[in-house]
Amino acid sequence: MSNPVDLIKQPIESEMKLFEEKFYASMKSNVSLLDKVTRFIVTTKGKQMRPMFVFLCAKLIGDVNDKTYRGASMIELIHTATLVHDDVVDESFKRRNFFSINALWKNKIAVLVGDYLLSKSVLLSTDHKDYDLLSVIARTIREMSEGELLQLEKARKLDITEDVYYEIIRMKTATLIAACCEIGVLSNNADEVLAKKMQEFGTFTGMAFQIKDDLFDYLSKNVIGKPVGIDIKEQKMTLPLIYSLKNANEKDRKYYFKSLKNYNNDSKRVKELIEFVKSSGGMDYAISVMKDYQQKAKNILNDFPDSEAKHSLNLMLDYVIERKF
Q: What percent of the chain has pLDDT over 90?
A: 56
pLDDT digits (tens, 9 = 90+) for 262-273: 888 888 888 889
Average pLDDT over residues 20-27: 82
Average pLDDT over residues 55-71: 96
**CA–centroid distance for 131 within its chain:** 24
Domains plus CATH for the chain? 4-322 (1.10.600.10)
Phi and psi angles of residue 225, each rounded to the nearest 5 degrees, phi first: 85, 10
pLDDT for 224 equals 44
Instruction: Give the dihedral sign, CA 202/203/209/212.
Output: negative
pLDDT for 92 equals 66
Q: What is the SS3 assignment for 98?
A: strand
**CA–CA gap between residue 61 and residue 187 (Å, rounded):** 10
Instruction: Write down the mean pLDDT value for the chain.
Output: 87
Hey, what amino acid is at 318?
A: D
Q: Is 96 left (phi over 0), alpha (psi -120 to 50) or beta?
A: left
Collect all residues with Cβ–Cβ distance below 8 Å to 314 and sequence separation of at least 6: 298, 301
**CA–CA gap between residue 135 and residue 237 (Å, rounded):** 32
Rg (CA), the chain: 20
pLDDT for 228 equals 67
